[in-house]
């Protein structure tokens, strides 16, 4: 069991507590701007863009710093800074202030996320990565299922400010847990790039993660698929509150229920991914087939969601869509982690994060414009069509290779190409 390791267990607990606060805060922000400020679709997508933009802009620099510094210290410092910033959301009143604070929070998170990925990669042997990823993902999904309903009740009773203060406390708890955690370093003999040190601050060092992805066929396939799927989904996800408010004519509690059902579906999808891949052989067997299937499931869920005229139909569609996301996440994460040299883990993780963030920002920009012109329902169906087309394209692609890793050359050769 991966959680028998005290260090991993503490990191898992810290993540769950922090994620709980994050879900509460995100729900509170969307509820605040949708139901209290009566924001337009473009203004709501602006909230998401403000949060995603730093991940795209600062990812390469964050990856270099993480690979050169102590991931644990970066995580602690990030948690403390985010606790202070999220508390400001409780006292800001306007949309512009919300944009600015979310941008600052995301800028700090840009350093936390690759640091966490490096900490896991440096600690967990390759053959245990699938179990650790699944355990962490399952914990996050449990929180995702419970937090929207809890957030809806908190916002309705005490206002969105209560969620912001709770999130600040969870960041401080996470910082304390990570600081008191000592994780051992897994040293893999012959690990490509082990002990290498590029010149600090060089452009080659900043771009090395992206060049490694381009040189590795399997990681390139997974990254491109995740980016394309993210673009399609982000075209409509920020408009869920508008959909519930204007088309279903429902309240913030219904918005919480629909969001919670997405988490239920993601939990089911995560379990299905492990079964499809073979529990004992890990999630790396036939990842292309699992990813293509996940895109088809996401497309079907969005169609059901967009065609629904009741909260029950919307919840069912959200659950199906979420199951497709769950099918995609664990195989993709495990393949990227297991095929990345430890010395490049921060840069590759941040590079993947940057690519996906750019795709999400583009999707958000499209959604804000398209919603005004075509309406919310047609945008949902267009997103579903994009995912179906991507699945059809992926099913006929033969470039993945025979090896489970999908690398066109040995890992050391991928490292040399990137260098």
| Paired tokens of 189 | 């003999």
Of 21, 35, 98, 43, the residue nearest 254 (C-alpha)? 35
Contact 128, 2 (CB under 8 A): yes
* 245-283: pLDDT as tens digits: 777 777 777 777 777 787 788 878 877 776 665 544 444
**Is pLDDT above 50 for 403?**
no
> pLDDT for 168-209, tens place per residue?
888 888 888 888 766 544 444 344 444 444 455 556 666 788
Is the C-alpha dihedral spanning 136, 394, 288, 354 positive or negative? negative
Which of 7-21, 123-137, 347-361 bottoms out in mean pLDDT, i.e. has the lowest? 123-137
- The tokens for 397 are 């692609």
Res 4 pLDDT > 50: yes
Q: Is residue 14 within 8 Å of 169, Cβ to Cβ?
A: no
CA distance linking residue 304 with residue 299, whole number of Å: 9
Q: Is residue 193 packed enough to be buried (19+ CB in 10 Å), middle (13-18) or exposed (0-12)?
A: buried
CA-to-CA distance for 117 and 131, rounded, in angstroms?
A: 15
Q: What is the mean pLDDT of residues 315-339?
A: 83
Which secondary structure element, helix H or strand E, spans residue 179, and what is its range? Answer: helix 160-179
Those residues whose C-beta lies under 8 Å from the C-beta of residue 40, and which sit 6 or more positions away, are none
Residue owning tokens 């962490």: 136
What is the share, in percent, of the chain residues with pLDDT greater than 90? 1
Q: Report the pLDDT value the prediction gives residue 134, as an integer from 0 to 100.
A: 66
Residue 137, pLDDT > 80, answer: no
Instruction: Decide if 85 contacts 104 (C-beta within 8 A).
Output: yes
Domains of the chain: 2-180+205-418 (1.20.1250.20)
For 331-367, what is each residue's pLDDT tens digit? 787 778 778 887 788 888 888 888 888 888 887 777 7
Matching residue, tokens 């006292």: 91
How many CB atoms neighbour CB 284 within 10 A? 22
Q: What is the average pLDDT value for the chain, to the nearest integer?
A: 75
Q: What is the pLDDT of residue 416?
A: 53
Structure tokens at 85: 């910033």
Distances (CA, A) of 272 to 155, 304, 327: 34, 20, 7
Q: What is the dihedral of CA 287, 293, 297, 302, to 10 degrees?
A: 90
pLDDT of residue 126: 66
What number is the average pLDDT over the span 227-248?
75
pLDDT at 373: 62
Query: What DSSP letter does each residue of 232-247 carry, written as one string?
Result: HHHTTGGGHHHIIIII
């Amino acid at each position: 069991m991966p959680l028998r390791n005290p260090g991993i267990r503490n990191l898992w607990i810290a993540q769950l507590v922090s994620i709980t606060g994050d879900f509460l805060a995100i729900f509170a922000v969307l509820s605040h701007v949708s139901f209290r400020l009566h924001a337009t679709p473009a203004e709501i997508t602006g909230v998401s863009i403000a949060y995603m933009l730093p991940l795209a802009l600062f990812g390469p620099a964050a990856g270099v710093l993480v690979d050169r510094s102590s991931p644990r210290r970066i995580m602690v410092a990030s948690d403390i800074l985010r606790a202070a910033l999220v508390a400001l959301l409780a006292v800001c009143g306007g949309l512009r202030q919300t944009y600015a604070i979310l941008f600052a929070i995301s800028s700090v998170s840009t350093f936390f996320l690759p640091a966490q990925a490096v900490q896991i990669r440096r600690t967990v042997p390759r053959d245990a990565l699938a179990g650790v990823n699944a355990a962490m993902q399952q914990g996050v999904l449990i929180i995702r299922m419970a937090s929207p309903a809890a957030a809806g009740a908190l916002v309705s009773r005490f206002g969105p400010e209560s969620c912001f203060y709770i999130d600040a406390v969870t960041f401080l708890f996470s910082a304390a847990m990570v600081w008191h955690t000592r994780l051992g370093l897994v040293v893999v003999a012959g690990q490509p790039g082990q002990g290498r040190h590029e010149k600090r601050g060089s452009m080659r060092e900043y771009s090395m993660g992206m060049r490694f992805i381009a040189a590795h066929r399997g990681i390139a396939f997974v990254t491109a698929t995740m980016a394309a799927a993210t673009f399609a989904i982000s075209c409509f996800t920020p408009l869920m509150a508008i959909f519930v408010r204007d088309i279903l004519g429902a309240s913030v509690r219904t918005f919480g229920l629909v969001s919670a059902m997405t988490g239920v579906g993601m939990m089911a999808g995560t379990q299905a991914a492990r079964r499809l891949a073979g529990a004992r052989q890990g999630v790396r067997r036939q990842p292309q087939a699992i990813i293509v299937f996940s895109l088809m499931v996401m497309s079907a869920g969005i169609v059901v969601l967009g065609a629904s005229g009741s909260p029950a139909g919307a919840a069912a569609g959200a659950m199906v869509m979420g199951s497709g996301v769950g099918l995609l996440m664990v195989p993709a994460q495990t393949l990227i982690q297991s095929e990345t040299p430890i010395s490049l883990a921060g840069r590759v993780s941040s590079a993947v994060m940057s690519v996906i963030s750019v795709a999400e920002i583009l999707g958000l920009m499209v959604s804000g414009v398209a919603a005004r012109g075509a309406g919310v329902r047609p945008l949902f169906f267009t997103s579903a069509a994009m995912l179906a087309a991507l699945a059809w394209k992926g099913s006929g692609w033969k470039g993945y290779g025979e090896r489970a890793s999908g690398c066109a050359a040995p890992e050391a050769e991928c490292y040399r190409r990137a260098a």
